[in-house]
Structure formats: C-alpha cells, structure tokens
Amino acid sequence: MLRSLNTAVSGLQQFQARMDVIGNNVANVNTNGYKAARVDFADAFSQTLQFSSSGAASMQIGSGVSTAAIKNLHTQGAISRTEVAEDLAIEGKGYFMVRDTASNAQYATRAGDFRLDNNGYLTTNAGQRVQGFSDGGLSTRGDIQIDGAGRPSTSDPAATMKSYAVDTEGKVNVYLSDGTQFTRGQILLQNFRDPQALVKEANNLYSGFGAAGPLGGAESPASAAPGTNGLGSIEAGALELSNVDLTNEFANLISTQRAFQASARIMTTGDELLQEIVNLKR
C-alpha cells in the first residue's frame, strides 16, 4: 500500500510538469517563431520480486513514472504576411544568428520580427544585431547594417537611401534616390544536427550551440547562405508564427487532467486501506 502511494505521488508530480508545459504552449500561441514543447514519460525503476528462470517468469512491480525528456518541436510554423520590410521569416530549416553587443554572445532565433535602429543596424526587439555578410562583396562577417555605404562609384554622391529589400537568399539590396541599386550585405542562417540540445534563453533566443552540432562544427561554427547546406529560404515582409496546435494542446490538457485525477484517486484509495488496517485494532 505504501508502494502504491509513492507510485501515485510520482504520477501527480509528472502530470503536473506536463500541465506546466501545456500551459506554456498555450500562453505562447501568438509568440512569433515559438516552438511547442511536449513531455515524454518513462516508467520508473521496477522492484524485482522474482528473477526469471527456466519454467518461471520474472515478477516485477513498477514504482511509478518519470519524465524522460521535455522536447521542443522544431517544426515549421505558418507564414503570415505583414508587408513590413524588417519582418523576415524562414521557409524551411535554419535559424537567424544575432549578437548581443554588450556581451558579444551569439544566439539563434526563428523569430524574425526585427527592426532598424538609429544607426541602421538590423536588430531584434531586445537590441541584438542580426549576423551575416556585412559588406557588398559578401566576404566579411559581422552585424547587418542597412545604409548607403558601399554604393557603386557611378552613383550620385548626394543620393540617399530610398528603400531596401531582402531577397530569398538573404541578400540586402539597397535602392538609392538616383535609381542606383546595389547589394549591401547578406543575412546568413545556421542549422543544428540536434536542435533538442539548444537552450532557451527567453526573448525567442537559443544558446548551447556546441552540444547541438552547428554547421562548421562546434569548434568553429559558421552560418551559411539561405538555400545552401540544407537551409531554407528567407521570405521578407512576413513572420513565422508559433507552431502550437491549440486543438492538440486542449486534448492533451484533458487527458493529463484525467490522469492526474486517477493518480489522486489511487492516493485516496491507499489512504482508505491504511485506515482500515489501523481500525483492525478496535
């Protein structure tokens, strides 16, 4: 009976953890680039009452359930058109790379709701700068800056930047007021052999590249151009939405609630049995 109580407690603990994950998924249903998570359970250690032998099967009693993993589902989210030039979505595999200017740390993200700061750098809402080739020759890696620098010598020196556009290969094409067009840089993407090893850092950011197996290897990870190395393409003026399926989440919510109630009932029944044993003395 005491064993059943401990087993029921393990069920309550793990189903509560699953409820927490479901709640977080539902809370982020409208978060750009968010990847839903799921809980994978595994049976806990089993106590062996009898070992198997010729003519006799083993007898074991399980001691409950444990959480084997909490996996993030890195599947494609729906693409929503916004017509905002700074909004970028990845169609296919890959992650944008951004750099924190304060710590110089780099992060990966699928959320492309970027903005241009007062210096023309393409940044996240928190200020991390998007990474790629920062020059028109596509040879120098660094922060993506969108301005009139690197313009052709044939353009009017007094011409100003009129607009810009990012193509499917991540190239930033700048248009000047005199009609001149040139490539200012290129946004690069990164991918990982094991995205489950990435560590969530809030603000839609991921770290932990070494364990995830980035392109170029853990020692010298190097992002690549969209459309190469199995990477997807970039769609400008659009955002990747959360991949949370509310129908699936509510179905999981109901089944988890029922399982929680069943574990609680086991505890109640075990308590009643113990009470009966105590009452035997009377």
Give the 3-state secondary structure of residue 163.
strand
Which phi and psi angles does 174 have, rounded to 5°? Answer: -100, 135
Residues 223 and 263 in one domain: no
Interacting residues of 180 by C-beta distance below 8 A, sequence separation 6+? 151, 152, 154, 155, 156, 159
> DSSP labels for 190-209?
E-BS-GGG-EE-STT-EE-H
d(CA 92, CA 222): 18
Assess whether 96 and 232 both reside in one domain. yes
- Clarify whether residues 41 and 110 are in a common domain: no
Matching residue, tokens 């080739």: 133
Q: Are residues 41 and 134 in the same domain?
A: no
Domain extent, residue 119, equals: 79-240
Planar angle of CA 114, 248, 204, nearest 5 degrees:
20
User: Would you write out the chain's pLDDT as a tens digit for each of its 282 residues?
Assistant: 578 888 999 999 999 999 999 999 999 999 999 999 999 999 988 887 788 887 788 888 888 899 999 999 999 999 999 999 999 999 999 999 999 999 999 999 999 999 999 999 999 999 999 999 999 999 999 999 999 999 998 899 889 999 999 999 999 999 999 999 999 999 999 999 999 999 999 999 999 999 999 998 877 788 999 999 999 999 999 999 999 999 999 999 999 999 999 999 998 998 888 888 888 876
Running DSSP on this structure, what letter comes out for residue 214? B
Q: Are residues 267 and 155 in the same domain?
A: no
Burial of residue 57 (CB within 10 Å: 0-12, 13-18, 19+) is: exposed
Both 191 and 110 in one domain: the answer is yes
- Partners of residue 107 on adjacent β-strands: 98
Q: What is the pLDDT of residue 58?
A: 82
The pLDDT of residue 233:
97
Q: What's the pLDDT at 1?
A: 57
Whether residue 91 is found in the same domain as residue 33: no
- pLDDT at residue 50, as a whole number: 81
- Are 176 and 93 found together in one domain? yes
- Same domain (yes/no): 106, 193: yes
151 alpha carbon, distance to own chain's centre: 37
220 and 99 co-located in one domain: yes
- Rounded distance between C-alpha atoms, residue 122 and residue 37, angstroms: 29
* DSSP H stretches of helix in the chain: 2-27, 209-212, 246-279
Same domain, yes or no: 151 and 232: yes
In this predicted structure, what is the pLDDT of residue 282?
Answer: 66
**Does 162 lie in the same domain as 60?**
no
Count of helices and strands (H, E) across the chain? 3, 20
Residue 261: helix, strand or coil by DSSP? helix
Distances (CA, A) of 99 to 102, 195, 205, 213: 9, 19, 11, 19
Q: Could you give the number of structural domains in the chain?
A: 2
Question: What is the Cα–Cα distance from 54 to 60, expressed in whole angstroms?
Answer: 17
pLDDT of residue 195: 95
